[in-house]
Amino acid sequence: MDTAIDLLIHGGDVLTVDPAGTVVPDGAVAVHDGEILAVGPAPDLAATYTACEEIDATGCLVLPGLINTHTHLAMTLLRGRADDVTLQGFLDKVLMRESKLLTPRSAADAVRLAVAESIRAGVTSALDMYWFHEAAETVAREAGWRLHTGPTFMDVPDPADGIAYEDRLAWARRHLTARKPPGPGGRQVLFAHSAYTLTPRQLTEVFSLAREFDALIHIHAAENAAEVSTVETRYRKRPVELLDSLGLLGPDVLLAHAVDLTGPEIAALARTGTSVAHCPVSNLKLGCGIAPVPQLLRAGVTVGLGTDGAVSSNTLDVLGAVRQAALVHKAGGDPTAVGAEQALRMATVEGARALGLADHLGSLEAGKRADLIVLDLRAPHLQPPHDPWSALAYAARADDVRDTVVDGRVLMRDRVLTTVDEVAARIALAERSTGDAARETGT
């Protein structure tokens, strides 16, 4: 007797991204209760399961959903407002506007459009550091999209949410205590913005709170030489050195950027099991430099991929970050520095590992959550499809993604979003952006 299941994706080549890099031609993925039950040849699974819903992936590639390990989703509100500036110039422009423009309502509108953009690009989950995380959580939950977020700590004048640092620890504790334990594919998260917006004492307090709740800790570190110089001037230690000296590095820590690193700092990351979110597009656009990813990988450091926010990168396209990661590190003369397969793994299973969720996300294997995408291979720029890793890293585009599934729920079918009103989201953000511009200029 056939086993009844919720969803069967069949007919395409399945790129599992398992440790062996298995590809199943004319494969299928069986899904029930948000979990992958089986991956294998389509005829075998069709004979074993009867699905309530099917996706015919003929002519397509089925692969794990992409994971954005560093972003600021609500920054879609400010897209195009801080271009062609240094990191410090970017911060000056953005911080000034955030305190004036951000509210729970505007953050929700901005995140809704960001979720729509992400689903279209095959991004099934993201680690989001920003103000008003509660609004972002509500939007993501309504859309059925996997969001990893939580309270952010940044000791700056006029914080956008109006909560002074002195009150944030108690606020964050209430949030962590009140939350239900995250299910498979999720975990608690706390965000410490950086070593230049938080003092060593504050960093220690935030990390201690996170560890009390077994939360992931995400922090910007060593994004460019100016940041390193600022921290070194204040504390006589570089950002990663400072974190290490305070005992704050570890397998529960994910650093964003990690561009300006020394050999001993790379060794410290490897020794402590600290992970890195590599954001090549943002780093190039802000003139920050190129993170030493090949050296990090050789040292055994887990590296995921991120887009950063839509102000510093202008897009939430993780496939674009895959291509950039596979290309930019070849500039030193070694075309093998970061290969196509490695770059794609950074956007999937290694990103899941960086979040501490590799047992649940990042590859198509029985027992993992059913976060996956179907990418149409029939466009001219993807023909002939000799090698799926190569196609994804060097030729595929975000608009090649045809279907997006999160936790077994189809969020995009045949390029039509099923859980987000994309037109309404676009109009709402456009109206808000126009009104915010008028308030800024006093018109």
Q: What domains are there in the chain, each with its CATH number? A: 3-64+363-417 (2.30.40.10), 66-354 (3.20.20.140)
Quick one: three-class SS letters along the chain? CCEEEEEEEECCEEECCCCCCCEECCEEEEEECCEEEEEEEHHHHHHHEEEEEEEECCCEEEEECEEEEEECHHHHHHCCCCCCCCHHHHHHHHHHHHHHHCCHHHHHHHHHHHHHHHHHCCEEEEEECCCCHHHHHHHHHHHCCEEEECCEECCCCCCCCCCCHHHHHHHHHHHHHHCCCCCCCCCCEEEECCCCCCCHHHHHHHHHHHHHCCCEEEEEECCCHHHHHHHHHHHCCCHHHHHHHCCCCCCCEEEEECCCCCHHHHHHHHHHCCEEEECHHHHHHCCCCCCCHHHHHHHCCCEEECCCCCCCCCCCCHHHHHHHHHHHHHHHCCCCCCCHHHHHHHCCHHHHHHCCCCCCCCCCCCCCECCEEEEECCCHHHCCCCCHHHHHHHHCCHHHEEEEEECCEEEEECCEECCCCHHHHHHHHHHHHHHHHHHHHCC
Strand partners, 219: 255
Comparing 86 with 229, the larger pLDDT belongs to 229
Contact 18, 364 (CB under 8 A): yes
| Cα–Cα separations (whole angstroms), residue 223 to 115, 252, 284 | 26, 20, 11
Q: Report residue 1's pLDDT band, with 50, 70 and 90 as the boundaries.
A: low
Give the pLDDT of residue 101: 83
The Cβ of residue 341 has, within 10 Å, a number of other Cβ atoms equal to 18
Q: What is the per-residue pLDDT across 49-92, written as a single tens digit (0 to 9) for each?
A: 999 999 999 999 999 999 999 999 999 988 877 777 787 777 77
Q: What is the per-residue pLDDT across 251-292, written as a single tens digit (0 to 9) for each?
A: 999 999 999 999 999 999 999 999 999 999 999 999 999 999
Six-digit token string for 8: 């069967």
Q: Give percent above pLDDT 90 in the chain.
A: 87
**What distance lies between CA 308 and its chain's CA centroid?**
8
The dihedral sign for the CA sequence 257, 260, 263, 269 = negative
Q: What is the per-residue pLDDT across 343-376, written as a single tens digit (0 to 9) for each?
A: 999 999 999 999 999 999 999 999 999 999 999 9
* CA-angle at 375, arms to 372 and 377, nearest 5°: 155
| Cα–Cα separations (whole angstroms), residue 365 to 9, 15, 16, 119, 349 | 14, 10, 7, 21, 11
Does the model's pTM come out above 0.75?
yes
pLDDT greater than 50 at residue 443: no
The closest of 379, 397, 399 to 323, measured between CA atoms, is 397
* CA-angle at 295, arms to 291 and 299, nearest 5°: 130
- Stretch 168-176: mean pLDDT: 96
Place of tokens 């964050």: 172
The dihedral sign for the CA sequence 115, 118, 123, 128 = negative
